[in-house]
Every structure is written in C-alpha cells, then in structure tokens.
Structure 1
C-alpha cells in the first residue's frame, strides 16, 4: 500500500507532536531513502534550501543524493510549535564531505500533514557552518540517536 497511515495522526497534542518529531528524526538518521519517503504523501511538496521537490518519488531521489554527499550524517530535531495539522521544528545535523571537512547544519522546518499523518508540505531553511572534527557534538554510532544523548537545548544549540 503506497499511502498507509503514519501515526500519530492529526490533530496533534503536545505528546503526539513530540512523538512525530522523534519518529522523523529516527527515520532521517536511518539514511534509508525508501523508508523515509514513505512518511510523505504521494503529492508532497518541499522547499529545501533552494531546491523544490514535487512528489514522493522526487523526495526519495533527493534523499538519496543528500546522503551520498553528506557522509556520517547525524541529526537532532526539536519541537518548536504545533497546531492541529502542523508542526514546526528546529534541528541541527553534523556531517562530513568526501574530503573529510566537517559541517554542522542548522535549520528550521515547517510541516503540514494530511489526515493519514503523511507529510504534505515541508519547508526547510538551512545554514551550514564549517566545524573542526574536534568541535563535533554528535558522537553516537550511525543510526538512531540514543535516548540518553542530549538534545539541542541541552547541548546549547
């Protein structure tokens, strides 16, 4: 099924919005474009930096390109605000390029969900900060961030 519901579903409460944010973080940290793309509606619309994505297939291709370039990708998302069908998050992720240069990317996203909990719209603004390897703060093994790892606010980010 290509449009299976993705709980938690709108309308969001604080707890369900927090859960949705953590599920999104976990998905993106998996770096599995096929799996992550299933969280988006078939007609999803994105703005990511200066790139515009139309539909789930383009989202999947975008993610494949992203994670082939952004190596050792580790992401933390934090709930900023929510309403019935919308969630705003702030996030940071660390990654390196194929030359060994490290970056911390900071961003904000606005999400809108359909009734099945699939993300219909995603608007993302991101800035990249070059960092030295010794400045990294995200040191867990690739994959899901451990529950006891500090979040953005705890890290002073």
Structure 2
C-alpha cells in the first residue's frame, strides 16, 4: 500500500539519492563524537546515534568507513558523544566539513578524551564492539558516565537543520 503523495522505489546503486532522501525523512538529533588519536583530537558530526541497552549501559553510532576520520575512531578505546543544543548548528557544520575544526581542545574527560562544553548531554564511552555494516560501521560504546543540561535540541531533517517544537 502506497502512502498518499509518496513515491516508491527499490534501492540500487542507480538511485542512491532517493534512498538518501528517504533516510532524511527521519528527524534526528545531532552529535559530535570526539576521540584522542596519535595526532591529537579527532571529531566527527553524526546523527546516527541511539541508545542500545540500559544494563549494561550501551549506545551506538555509525561512522562512514570511507571517512578519513574513520581509522581514528575504529582504533579508539574511548570516545565521547556530545548531544548538541539548538545554538550549536555552526559547530555541527564546522566539524562535518573540517576534521580539524575543533583544534586542540583543552578539556579532557577522565580517559583523556577531548570534550566539548555547553552540550545537552555527553556520554563518555569505552568501545564495547565494532561491527562492519556495509559502507558504515556500528560502534557500540559502554557508557562510563553521562552528563546532561537543560536546553533545546539541535535537530536534522531532510538534509537541513530543523527545529523541534516542544509542547
């Protein structure tokens, strides 16, 4: 059964844009994931973040394996996932476009991972598992600590920054 006003397709290499557009219909939050690499702080913007388990406390995110930043995250024993606030869109785009956008962050968590200030939440994680998943990987982290703050979330929908209306 087709939804009103919709189109359908079967994913194949010739219509990847349609599949990307369909994925974009799912509104997500926006995160910046940081780790410490031999060359210093490495960061990546990701909207592929999800909670997995309460016991043990697990989260996941999915970096593209073709990314120049992927090897640093695949090797990282610890990383931090920062849930961005609505006023951090410039940060999200800056990190997405430039692997060195954060420079050398001075703040570190107990595991030495560079951390950002003023986020809605931060999950300090130890790598629990790494799974190949097509052109991406699934990185599962065991949450060592979580911090949270009040504020409105930064959202992503249809390839653009979106606002979340909270009633």
Interval of TM-score (by shorter of Structure 1 and Structure 2): 0.3 to 0.5
Q: TM-score, normalised by structure 2?
A: 0.32
Compare the two structures and name the one with the higher helix fraction: 1
Q: TM-score, normalised by structure 1?
A: 0.33
